[in-house]
Amino acid sequence: MTDHFQVKMAEMNFEADRPKAENPVKIMDLTLRDGHQSLFATRGRTEDMIPVAEMMDNIGFWAVEVWGGATFDTTHRFLNEDPWERLRTMKRYFKNTPLSMLLRAQNLVGYRNYPDDVAKAFVQRTAENGMDIFRTFDALNDFRNFETVVKEIKAAGKHFQGCVCYTLTGPRMGGEIYNLEFYLNKAKELEDMGADTICIKDMAGLLAPYDAFDLVKALKETVKPPIHLHSHFTSGMSPMTHLKAIEAGVDIIDTCMSPYAYRTSHAAIEPLVVTLYGTSRDTGFSVKALDEINQKLENDILPKYKHLLDDSKVSIIDTNVLLHQTPGGMLSNLVNQLREMDALDRINEVYELLPKVRKDLGQVPLVTPTSQIVGIQTVNNVLFDSENDTYKMTTQQVKDLCYGLYGKTAAPINPDVQKKVLKGYPRGEEPITCRPAEILEPELEKAKEDVKDLAADLDDVLIYALYPTTGKKFLKYKYGLEDPPESLKAKTLEQAKKEEDLVRKARAGKVVAKKTPEDEEGLRKFTVVVDDEVFEVRVEDKNPPVIMQAAPALSAPPAHAAPQQDTQTQAPARQQAPVRQAAPTSPKPAPKPAPDAKAADAKPAAPSAAPADGTPIKAPMPGTVIRFEKKVGDTVNEGDTVVILEAMKMENSLTATTSGTLKSINYREGDAVAKNDVICVIG
């Protein structure tokens, strides 16, 4: 295809004769942020961006988006990378092209409103570390949440791009809330705030081409700053939407390099370049130069991430999004979470209930973090509600939203839901109406104090201030106080190719069980499949064999450390009281370890063996223990919150189902728990 194209162009001598466009469409490339965030959960590593950075720098992009959004979270949490180092590295390689980031206004790059002191420091440090363009949005389109960050962006002399989140309540623009006037008014607000550019942020690809034409045309007539369009491909409309927006005079369009394009990501740049060839809006980009970048991405980079791509569907278009308005990142999160909870078969119930939950919560746009808030609450309602008792398990974030801590919703919140959710809410049962950050206590000084032995500079402190649990863990890895687990390490191209090869052979029925040579401790490694779960077992090759360790090989093993143990001095799991149990000599699969056995592995007190004389509080879903609201010996009343469990980035309050005394706590703050693990016992 490429050859044919090049020959034709050579015949026409088009490149030489290509006239310079009067008003070229400017392009922002999103490959290194929204591209991999949409397609493979933001797992792209810095080392895999460097090989294409300089080539991309020479294309002529208006800007490249390389940071913000979920990158701050995933770099430190899943990749053991310093998010600030990512930014500084990109700045070194992109010498000609401005860098852009996605800033969630007062939510910064997290999932809640941070206090003003943290917000100011974050923007200052981001500018200092090399950011040029701050694409700023608020999930509720409540621009009071822009005030603090915009002041800092301007003070640093950087580009403030104000976004309006585009959302709908029906199939097309209009209706009572999200109509043309709504968007024009929002754009005027942004112009008044000093926006250098104004972006229509269409997170779920809902903007229909003819609506885009009307919207862009009206915006160009109403406000002065250049108009920028960010429209995800999800529904399949975006290439048409782009073209109509260009006809209406849009100034800047967002695209991705083709290997990172389409599906829930963005349209590719190459077809747009050719579409506009020789017109008054020609981008002027060389398709050949773009293709060279694509070859590198396709052959050297993407094979390492293929296993993360969702290839469960043949269709690259999600028509459902036009019905349930769910952006891509949220979709993959919901699917993952339901899968972990063994409830993937209920996904359709979640889709069905989602519009109602959204309406109850004030018809909020579905964008981070409101997409997560609405999505997870819907999952909770589907899994835990009964007909007469709805909103039975509400996340902390839903409570905060009902209280007004995220800002003002476009439509009022369902008062019945609001009242139920705010019952016993510690800040008060009466919602606020002021700018949310006005009631938030400063946090920066406390954060500095908390990590004074760990943080080398303000950047470190901010990692902790934004993400206390995972941030602290990362800082320990960063300064060598703890070894990062194997699961955080990068995969090499060789490994990826080997794995792919293995999968191909397995599919062809060519794989036979094979034991590895004995290791230095005289153990052989076997892979055993039990009920679809893959266990890696190391077996002493003598009679009778002894299973020394059985850990799920596909996910990070949960840290089942007893409360009094210090992880820093914790011996490798295999050296702790080995589970001695009869194991099969060969093909017969190993018995699934009893739940108690796993607990006994690390906890001599075996607290989960005790629920006979107490009422356990079990984890209703896999997650991380954030904090305990009660301690051992405390009196607990039915309905009291005992423990806060983080799952899917949302905090869930687990409440006592009975009154009594808190007898035992089996996990520490920061520990990972699996579904049905007994977190504590009330006696």
Residues that bind Co ion (CB under 5 A): 34
Q: Which residue, 28 or 463, has its beta carbon nearer to Co ion? A: 28
Quick one: which of 655, 667, 659, 665 has its CA closest to 683? Answer: 659
Quick one: which of 511, 487, 573, 512 has its CA closest to 538? Answer: 573
CB of 640 to Co ion, least distance (A): 40
Encoded tokens for 665: 């706590």
Kindly give, in sequence order, each residue whose CB lies less than 8 Å from that of residue 295, ignoring residues fewer than 6 positions away.
none
Kindly give, in sequence order, each residue whose CB lies less than 8 Å from that of residue 421, ignoring residues fewer than 6 positions away.
391, 394, 398, 399, 402
Q: In the bound complex, which residue of the shown chain has the CB atom lying closest to Co ion?
A: 34
Q: Which residue, 255 or 414, has its beta carbon nearer to Co ion? A: 255
Cβ burial of 417 (10 Å; 0-12, 13-18, 19+) is buried
Q: Which residue, 232 or 538, has its beta carbon nearer to Co ion? A: 232
Quick one: which of 571, 683, 666 has its CA closest to 625? Answer: 666
Distance CA 659, CA 682 (A): 8
Q: How far is C-alpha 134 from the chain's CA centre?
A: 19
CB of 257 to Co ion, least distance (A): 15
Rounded to the nearest 5°, which phi and psi values hold at 16? Answer: -70, -35
The kind and range of the H/E element at 57 are: helix 50-57
CB of 230 to Co ion, least distance (A): 6
Q: Which residue, 70 or 301, has its beta carbon nearer to Co ion? A: 70
Sheet arrangement for strand 672-673: 650-655, 641-647, 623-628, 672-673
CB of 3 to Co ion, least distance (A): 34
Q: Which residue, 163 or 447, has its beta carbon nearer to Co ion? A: 163
First to last CA, the chain: 71
Q: Which residue, 34 or 360, has its beta carbon nearer to Co ion? A: 34
Q: Decide: 90 and 53 in contact? Cβ < 8 Å.
A: yes
What Å distances lie between residue 416 and 392, 422, 493, CA to CA?
13, 10, 54
Q: Which residue, 203 or 246, has its beta carbon nearer to Co ion? A: 203
Q: Which residue, 35 or 468, has its beta carbon nearer to Co ion? A: 35
Q: Where are the alpha helices (DSSP H) in 252-368?
A: 269-276, 287-296, 321-324, 328-340, 347-360
Q: Which residue, 129 or 371, has its beta carbon nearer to Co ion? A: 371
Describe the chain by its helix, strand, coil percentages, rounded to 5: 40, 15, 40
In single-letter form, the type of residue at position 420 comes to K
Q: Which residue, 34 or 318, has its beta carbon nearer to Co ion? A: 34
CB of 37 to Co ion, least distance (A): 7
CB of 281 to Co ion, least distance (A): 23
Indicate left, alpha or beta for 420 from its phi (over 0: left) and psi (-120 to 50: alpha): alpha
Secondary structure of 267-286 in HEC code, one letter for each residue:
CEHHHHHHHHCCCCCCCCCC
Q: Which residue, 34 or 117, has its beta carbon nearer to Co ion? A: 34
Q: Tell me how crowded residue 631 is: count the other CB atoms within 10 A of its CB.
A: 10
Encoded tokens for 570: 């914790």
Rounded to the nearest 5°, which phi and psi values hold at 536? Answer: -100, 120
Q: Which residue has the tokens 């139920």?
A: 420
Q: Decide: 514 and 523 in contact? Cβ < 8 Å.
A: no
CB of 325 to Co ion, least distance (A): 14
Angle (deg, nearest 10), helices 116-128 and 147-155: 30
CB of 236 to Co ion, least distance (A): 16
CB of 221 to Co ion, least distance (A): 26
Q: Which residue, 65 or 116, has its beta carbon nearer to Co ion? A: 65
Q: Which residue, 80 or 370, has its beta carbon nearer to Co ion? A: 370
In single-letter form, the type of residue at position 637 comes to N
Report DSSP state, residue 142. Answer: -
CB of 78 to Co ion, least distance (A): 19
CB of 203 to Co ion, least distance (A): 6
CB of 232 to Co ion, least distance (A): 6
CB of 110 to Co ion, least distance (A): 17
Rounded to the nearest 5°, which phi and psi values hold at 262? Answer: 65, -165
Distance CA 298, CA 301 (A): 6
CB of 69 to Co ion, least distance (A): 7
Q: Which residue, 233 or 464, has its beta carbon nearer to Co ion? A: 233
Q: Tell me how crowded residue 22 is: count the other CB atoms within 10 A of its CB.
A: 9
